[in-house]
Structure 1
Amino acid sequence: MNSTTNHAHTNTTFNNADFDEIGKFTRLADEWWDRQGAFKSLHDINPLRLDWIEDQTYAFFGSKLNGKKVLDVGCGGGILSHSMAVRGADVLGVDLGAENLQAGQIHAKRTGMTDSLAFRCVAIEELAKEQAGTFDVVTCMEMLEHVPDPSAIVRACFELLKPNGVFVASTINRNPKSYLFAIVGAEYVLRLVDKGTHDFHKFITPAELDSMAVGAGFGRFDMTGLHYNPITKRFWLSNANVDVNYMMSFTKGEKP
């Protein structure tokens, strides 16, 4: 797969885009691959997310990411996209922030990953019309809480998957604890992310995400919570609760 970034916005629809949200990340585009910079927390949690995605892929297919055709929706600068390509997947990362994609493309060239990692600036709903039924795995991490209509994104992900494909999404629960931890704690106290990164009213409960997915045609497969200890500065996954950050996996059909 050749690595191409589409900077032209012609023939691309942006009906389900919040450009204030996109701007939050494109303004920091040059920091995507600074592991101590604005996206340090994404680098820190990436191994956990990557391993969980592989676990879901293995549980469903009986094999991991190697050889799978993968779409990473809302890929930003390509932190997860790149790591999935390193694991042997053929990855397409899509985002509406061209500066973010350029950062991902530059890093892919620097690390010699351009044969298995490509980027496109395209609305996911438009891509679904072009490449329906194309991908084995679709990921959508930390993105649904930043768009006006997350259910439309979930429906497009369903269309993009092959029959019996796997969809993995991560987002933030909506409750008093998530407000305290994800906004007050992460943005203002611990400064894990920039102030204003999140809008509490756009957070999505697991029941809401499950309803979106089932409505699109998915079946729920698994769920886990992401946790952080500010004393040890350690992240970990646990099924014990999904009060704040969580990941859910869904399937398009039965096991092959």
Structure 2
Amino acid sequence: MLDKSKKTGDSNFSEEEIARFDALAESWWDPKGKYKTALDFNRARLDVIKAQIEDHFGKGNLPPDYSTLSVIDIGSGGGLISEPLAKLGANVTGIDASAVSVEVAKRHALKSGVNVNYRHMLSSEVVKEERQFDVVINAEVVEHVPDQQQLIKECASLVKPGGLLILATLNRTLKSYVIAIVGAEYVMRYLPIGTHDWKKFVKPKELNEWAGDEFTLKHQIGMKLNPFKGEWLTTSSLAVNFIQTYSKNK
């Protein structure tokens, strides 16, 4: 098979990956559709993300004033993370390499009456704009790009001093292969076959290294599916899906 992944100049993307997500985009927001499990997963993941933002920027037991926070969601897809954070009042920018996904996200935000600045662009282009954000989120993206270390480096450079870097991906373990690929794609058909390449999964220690010395790991947690109830839960095990939160030194 022809490898259409590209890492030329500032183009760190895969044409095959973008085409795959173009096909998925229209179905992302359908709560009764075939990607219901992925939507349920996103809700559980979003709970973790919000808790980390509120722990970092909140005052005691009080949540932060979201309207004071700038957020960028890198690889925002149909807006499943961007839109809920914007509803809380955050100033959210969502970027994605898929023009179709960006348009789907824009249409949904317009329908929902939520203000999100969606842009069809790469993280490298945002870096060139010399912008920084209070919160930088990269969720389930790094396992889909050719140069993974470069992507994390770009994300890290976009975080303001004292800000948060939130990374979510899949661990490269035997368990993740069995659950995330064999189980989710071939057996349960939660995702289309070929959605993931196990060799592109990332170990937590690799993210730690790629984030760099300016960052301190604040929190890490895993996600697991209860197959009997169809519910996503947090777990101390990072063996499959996991989320890591880093604070940038001031």
Same fold (TM > 0.5): yes
Q: For 1:189-222, what per-residue CA distance to the aligned partner results, in whole angstroms no more than 9, with x for missing partners? A: 111111110000000011111111125x322111
Against the structure 1 CA distance between its residues 65 and 221, is the aligned structure 2 distance closer, same or farther, given a 3 Å change threshold?
farther
Q: Which residue of 2 aligns with 1:121?
A: 120
Unmatched 5+ stretches in structure 1? 1-12
What amino acid sits opposite 1:60 in the alignment? H
1:22 aligns with 2:18: yes
Q: Which residue of 1 aligns with 2:5?
A: none
Task: Give the aligned CA root-mean-square deviation in angstroms.
Answer: 1.7
Q: Which residue of 1 aligns with 2:172?
A: 174
Structure 1 vs Structure 2: percent identity of aligned residues? 37
* TM superposition shift of 1:110: 0.5
Secondary structure of the corresponding residue to residue 231 of structure 1: coil
8 Å CA contact retained: 1:125, 1:152: no
Q: Quick check: 81-90 or 47-56, which moved more?
A: 47-56
Q: For 1:211-239, what per-residue CA distance to the aligned partner results, in whole angstroms no more than 9, with x for missing partners? A: 11125x3221110000002122111012x
The normalised TM-score by structure 1 is 0.88
* TM superposition shift of 1:109: 0.7
Give the Cα–Cα distance (whole angstroms) in 1 for the partners of residues 11 and 72 of structure 2.
21
* TM superposition shift of 1:36: 2.7
The equivalent position to 2:138 in structure 1, one of 131, 137, 140, is 140
Q: Quick check: 93-102 or 27-36, which moved more?
A: 27-36
Q: Which residue of 1 aligns with 2:219?
A: 222
8 Å CA contact retained: 1:65, 1:84: no
Q: Which residue of 1 aligns with 2:31?
A: 35
Q: Which residue of 2 aligns with 1:49?
A: 45
What amino acid sits opposite 1:148 in the alignment? P
Unmatched 5+ stretches in structure 2? 1-8
The normalised TM-score by structure 2 is 0.90
Give the Cα–Cα distance (whole angstroms) in 1 for the partners of residues 11 and 172 of structure 2.
24
* TM superposition shift of 1:64: 3.7
What amino acid sits opposite 1:66 in the alignment? Y
Instruction: Point out the structure with the larger strand share.
Output: 2
Q: Which residue of 2 aligns with 1:69?
A: 70
Q: Quick check: 62-71 or 123-132, which moved more?
A: 62-71
Give the Cα–Cα distance (whole angstroms) in 2 for the partners of residues 57 and 44 of structure 1.
20
